[in-house]
């Protein structure tokens, strides 16, 4: 059975730990600097062992690891693990430095993937299939609008990585990165971008909580609107094609299509999705990769491209110009 090490058991790390255990395909250990956190995790889950520091773990006994530390530390941990032939799943974003991410991707690290979990959403996969099959012709425009009340889901946001861009915080790097990665997976990489960002509501942080982004994915036009302070947790991604449109409503877990002028949306497929479901699918997909029966769902190269878009968009917001990638 595969021995998986979760490095960092904050909110996302604990979810990875829980979901890898749910697969039933191996044993799970974890690493966290907090004595209190280790005690809580140890008593809450059937883990194999735990460590205060990565130095305390015998990496020769570890088959795979999930890196869940703040984003600016991701690749330092990943490089160390790879040097010991440990398969690595890196939480998004891959880094906070495009240069570092490019160098890591070019190194061709062994078995490695990046945890853009929305690629495992069944509705996203269906939308991608519809676009790839060109059911409604080629895509011409992509529109995303969404948001949530971030303090409700992360009440400690002011004290952790979320409060600073240098550690991967902000609506751009921490939230919109998910949809940008999905969009690039479906309609292709961003070729140019501009943006408007601001901190409008959330107190105690210096990073943006509201973003508007315009993109070009070659010929496809894109627009993205997201905030971290609205009451309702919702999001809709719509792709208009030459002969019809497809939409995924993440709040309702439904994919909709429309192709005749004047028609209303038709239900393509509805989904029942619990909060951990995508993470369990992601864990199984990574274990398949570790066992050699599948490729990475999101490669370091693809994650680096998304990082370039996010950081270039922030630069564009400062200069208020379009930037090419």
Q: Are 181 and 301 contacting, i.e. CB atoms less than 8 angstroms apart?
A: no
Question: In the prediction, which pLDDT does 110 show?
Answer: 87
Q: Are 3 and 64 contacting, i.e. CB atoms less than 8 angstroms apart?
A: yes
User: CA 63, CA 52: separation in Å to the nearest integer?
Assistant: 19
Q: Which of the 8 DSSP states describes residue 123?
A: H
Count the alpha carbons within 13 Å of 249 in the hemisphere toward its beta carbon: 13
Q: Tens place of pLDDT for every residue, the chain, 325 residues? A: 899 999 999 999 999 999 999 999 999 999 999 999 999 999 999 999 999 999 999 999 999 999 999 999 999 999 999 999 999 999 999 999 999 999 999 998 789 999 999 999 999 999 999 999 999 999 999 999 999 998 887 776 666 666 778 888 899 999 999 999 999 999 999 999 999 999 999 988 889 999 999 999 999 999 999 999 999 999 999 999 999 999 999 999 999 999 999 999 999 999 999 989 999 999 999 999 999 999 999 999 999 999 999 999 999 999 999 999 9
Q: How is residue 232 written in tokens? A: 């309702």
Residues across the chain:
325
Question: In the prediction, which pLDDT does 108 show?
Answer: 80
Q: How is residue 253 written in tokens? A: 């877990």
* 93 preceded by a cis bond (ω within 30 of 0): yes
Q: How would you list the strands of the sheet with 87-91, edge to edge?
A: 50-51, 26-31, 2-7, 64-67, 87-91, 112-115
Structural domains in the chain, sorted by start: 2-118+280-297 (3.40.50.720), 120-272+306-324 (3.30.360.10)
Q: Are 189 and 310 contacting, i.e. CB atoms less than 8 angstroms apart?
A: no
User: CA 325, CA 102: separation in Å to the nearest integer?
Assistant: 14
- Model pTM score: 0.95
User: CA 21, CA 61: separation in Å to the nearest integer?
Assistant: 18
Question: In the prediction, which pLDDT does 164 show?
Answer: 76
Question: In the prediction, which pLDDT does 168 show?
Answer: 84
Question: In the prediction, which pLDDT does 255 show?
Answer: 98
Q: How is residue 8 written in tokens? A: 């960092």
């Amino acid at each position: 059975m595969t021995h998986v090490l979760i490095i960092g058991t904050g909110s996302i790390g604990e979810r990875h730990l829980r979901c890898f255990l749910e697969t039933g395909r191996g044993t799970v250990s974890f690493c966290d600097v907090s004595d209190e956190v280790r005690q809580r995790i140890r008593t809450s889950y059937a883990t194999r062992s735990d460590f205060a520091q990565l130095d305390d773990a015998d990496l020769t006994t570890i088959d795979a690891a999930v890196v869940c530390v703040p984003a600016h530390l991701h690749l330092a941990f990943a490089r160390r693990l790879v040097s010991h032939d440990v398969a690595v799943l890196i939480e998004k974003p891959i880094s906070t430095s495009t240069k570092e991410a490019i160098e890591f991707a070019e190194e061709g690290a062994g078995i490695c993937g990046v945890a853009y979990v929305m690629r495992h959403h069944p509705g996203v996969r269906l939308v991608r299939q519809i676009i790839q099959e060109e059911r409604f012709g080629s895509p011409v425009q992509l529109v995303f609008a969404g948001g949530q009340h971030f303090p409700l889901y992360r009440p400690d946001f002011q004290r952790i990585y979320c409060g600073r861009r240098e550690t991967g915080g902000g609506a751009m790097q921490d939230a919109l990165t998910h949809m940008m990665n999905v969009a690039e997976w479906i309609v292709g990489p961003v070729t140019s971008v501009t943006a408007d960002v601001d901190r409008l509501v959330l107190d105690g942080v210096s990073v943006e909580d509201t973003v508007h982004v315009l993109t070009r994915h070659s010929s496809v036009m894109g627009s993205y609107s997201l905030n971290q302070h609205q009451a309702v947790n919702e999001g809709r991604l719509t792709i208009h094609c030459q002969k019809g449109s497809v939409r995924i409503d993440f709040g309702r877990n439904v994919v909709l299509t429309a192709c005749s002028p004047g028609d209303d949306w038709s239900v393509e497929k509805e989904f029942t999705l619990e909060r951990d479901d995508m993470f369990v699918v992601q864990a199984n997909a990574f274990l398949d990769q570790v066992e050699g029966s599948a490729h990475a769902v999101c490669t370091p190269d693809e994650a680096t491209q998304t990082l370039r878009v996010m950081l270039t968009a922030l630069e564009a917001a400062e200069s208020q110009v379009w930037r090419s990638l």
